[in-house]
Amino acid sequence: MNTLSTRRRWRTRILAVVVIPLILVLCVGGATVALDSLCYSGLTQRLPLYPGAVVTFEKHNGLRRFGMGETLMILESADPIETVRDWYGRNAGAAVRRMQQDGQRLLISMSQAEYSVVTAEDGQGTQITLSGVCGG
């Protein structure tokens, strides 16, 4: 009887050593994926990609661009600077207003989103810089 009790204790200990870390990994992994999805949803609305623009630089330190972490993108468009500025003013601004009206203030408060629109370095077209930080 004592041997049976000892075996059960060892099984319980081994199970605890395996199951508890597995549960911990699943919980942390699930939370990370959920936060990444929230960040992606919020930042892609606030920093839309200009139609027809070409990505010339992209860097992110998270799972994906505009997910949890920091993202920096530079795009170029042949369109005039005024056209691109107007488009971002309408679309990025409308996204923030829509998010506020839909009660998605958490998505706005947990992230920082900035864009700049300048004349391209070669003087032809427009350069767009998108910068987002979320969950940090």
- First vs last C-alpha separation in the chain: 55
Query: How would you write the pLDDT of the chain (136 residues) with one tens digit per residue?
Result: 566 677 778 888 887 788 888 899 899 988 889 889 989 988 998 899 999 999 999 999 988 999 999 999 999 999 999 999 999 999 988 887 887 777 776 666 788 999 999 999 888 899 999 999 998 6
The total number of structural domains that make up the chain = 1
Which of 38, 60, 31 has the alpha carbon at shortest distance from 109? 38
Domain boundaries, position 96: 2-134
Strand order in the sheet with 111-119: 54-60, 69-77, 126-134, 111-119
pTM of the full predicted structure? 0.79
